[in-house]
């Protein structure tokens, strides 16, 4: 099993697996590694308040329930790293080149989005009490007319994927990274994350509250903020809502 005591809770249709999972966690202590999954998510949520919509029965939309009580609030971004690396490791068995992790929560193939992550935490005295890790992955969908910067595993690889098998691989690999963080700490984890980071040490165009500018991503700091060198050797650290990449 992906996680010891792992359990799958299936909904043919639901508003958002994260919303359902957060509600379940608030009522009872489900086994760590419980998966809440649906074939049709009606109100999927992404970063910056964006919606996440996909064709029913073609993709993976699920939430993973974790209890990282040993992790401080200030280190919560390492859950993003754990999840992104687990997804990357899974997809890299089929996609040899062009795969990357786009800060803070997206999986990219070249310049197109393959998947996204949304993590919601419950905090108790500066420690994480529970975390719901929402994952949306474009798998067998082939029509993205309304989302020109999106693609899917099927479009990239030229064949259909078995969703159940892919889910098992994903949860297995996420668990390996999660256990690694718990047992070994974050140093090597962060190095691996940076190795696959989209746009690292490349000149890119960004937008912040001051407007559009060009800069170079230098890495991620200890709080999970994006570190960018702007013009005139000015270095800034950005939280998630403070900057956007202009594609």
- Output the pLDDT for position 232: 78
- Find the mean pLDDT for residues 169-184: 94
What's domain 8-195's superfamily in CATH? Answer: Bira Bifunctional Protein; Domain 2 (3.30.930.10)
- Output the pLDDT for position 22: 96
- Output the pLDDT for position 43: 72
pTM (2 d.p.) = 0.93
pLDDT (tens digit, 9 = 90+) per residue, 187-239?
A: 889 999 999 999 999 999 999 999 999 999 999 998 999 999 998 779 999 99
- Output the pLDDT for position 133: 97
Shared fold status for 8-195 and 203-245: no
pLDDT (tens digit, 9 = 90+) per residue, 140-176?
A: 999 998 888 999 999 999 999 999 999 999 999 999 9
Buried residues in 95-128 as b, exposed as e (16+ CB within 10 A): beeebbbbbbbbbbbeebbbbbbbbbbeeeeeeb
Q: Where are the domains of the chain?
A: 8-195, 203-245
- Output the pLDDT for position 116: 95
- Find the mean pLDDT for residues 173-187: 92
Tell me if the domain spanning 203-245 has CATH number 3.40.50.300.
Answer: no
Residue 135 has pLDDT above 70, yes or no: yes
- Find the mean pLDDT for residues 10-30: 93
The pLDDT mean for the chain works out to 91
- The token pair at 209 is 């509250």
- Output the pLDDT for position 48: 45
Between 42 and 62, the more confident residue is 62
Residue 74 has pLDDT above 60, yes or no: yes
Residue 117 has pLDDT above 50, yes or no: yes
């Amino acid at each position: 099993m992906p996680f010891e005591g792992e359990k799958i809770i299936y909904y043919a249709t639901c508003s958002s697996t994260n919303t359902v999972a957060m509600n379940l966690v608030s009522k009872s202590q489900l086994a760590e590694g419980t998966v809440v999954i649906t074939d049709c998510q009606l109100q999927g949520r992404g970063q910056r308040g964006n919606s996440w919509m996909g064709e029913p029965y073609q993709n993976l939309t699920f939430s993973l329930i974790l209890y990282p009580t040993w992790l401080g609030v200030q280190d919560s971004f390492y859950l993003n790293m754990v999840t992104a690396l687990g997804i990357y490791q899974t997809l890299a068995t089929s996609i040899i080149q062009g795969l990357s992790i786009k800060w803070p929560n997206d999986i990219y193939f070249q310049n197109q989005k393959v998947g996204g992550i949304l993590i919601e935490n419950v905090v108790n005295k500066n420690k994480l009490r529970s975390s719901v890790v929402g994952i949306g992955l474009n798998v067998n969908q082939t029509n993205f007319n309304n989302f020109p910067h999106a693609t899917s595993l099927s479009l990239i690889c030229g064949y259909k994927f078995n969703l159940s098998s892919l889910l098992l691989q994903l949860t297995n690999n996420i668990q390996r990274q999660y256990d690694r963080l718990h047992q070994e700490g974050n140093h090597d984890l962060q190095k691996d994350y940076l190795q696959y980071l989209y746009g690292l040490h490349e000149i890119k165009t960004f937008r912040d509250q001051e407007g559009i500018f060009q800069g170079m991503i230098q890495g991620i700091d200890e709080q999970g903020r994006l570190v960018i060198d702007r013009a005139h050797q000015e270095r800034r650290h950005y939280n998630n809502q403070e900057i956007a990449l202009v594609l």
